[in-house]
Amino acid sequence: AQSVTQLDSQVPVFEEAPVELRCNYSSSVSVYLFWYVQYPNQGLQLLLKYLSGSTLVKGINGFEAEFNKSQTSFHLRKPSVHISDTAEYFCAVSSAGNQFYFGTGTSLTVIP
């Protein structure tokens, strides 16, 4: 079975500051990892995904994430956040590719 833990439920950060949203996963098999963003009253949008290869993955809107197998982590980072980054962020894991297991989400609030 797979599971995802997002360690921070809420992260406030000032505009133009860097941010890291933490995600740890648990799985007995090889996994694929994803970050989704959900803006208010919107559906989920894929930010980035790790399937294989380079452990540093770059996504949309300047976000990147690093897969660390030994620490079973897939933390999301952005060097300088904007007001428009305020949203809910979900980490997800999949092994068979047919369903995703999502974390409980991290609410990112960018403070002007």
Partner 1 sequence: DTGVSQDPRHKITKRGQNVTFRCDPISEHNRLYWYRQTLGQGPEFLTYFQNEAQLEKSRLLSDRFSAERPKGSFSTLEIQRTEQGDSAMYLCASSLGPALHTEAFFGQGTRLTVV
Give me the residues that bind partner 1 (CB under 8 A), please.
4, 9, 32, 36, 41-46, 49, 51, 90, 92, 94, 97-105
Whose Cβ is closer to partner 1: residue 87's or residue 105's? 105
Closest CB 97 distance from partner 1, rounded Å:
4
Whose Cβ is closer to partner 1: residue 17's or residue 51's? 51
User: Token pair of 55, please?
Assistant: 């452990």
Whose Cβ is closer to partner 1: residue 54's or residue 112's? 54
Strand partners, 109: 12
Whose Cβ is closer to partner 1: residue 45's or residue 80's? 45
Closest CB 32 distance from partner 1, rounded Å:
6
Question: 61 φ, ψ to 5°?
Answer: 60, 25
Contact 97, 52 (CB under 8 A): no
Question: 28 φ, ψ to 5°?
Answer: -95, -5
Closest CB 34 distance from partner 1, rounded Å:
9
SS (H, E, C) 36-78: EEECCCCCEEEEEEECCCCCEEECHHHCEEEEECCCCEEEEEE
Closest CB 17 distance from partner 1, rounded Å:
26
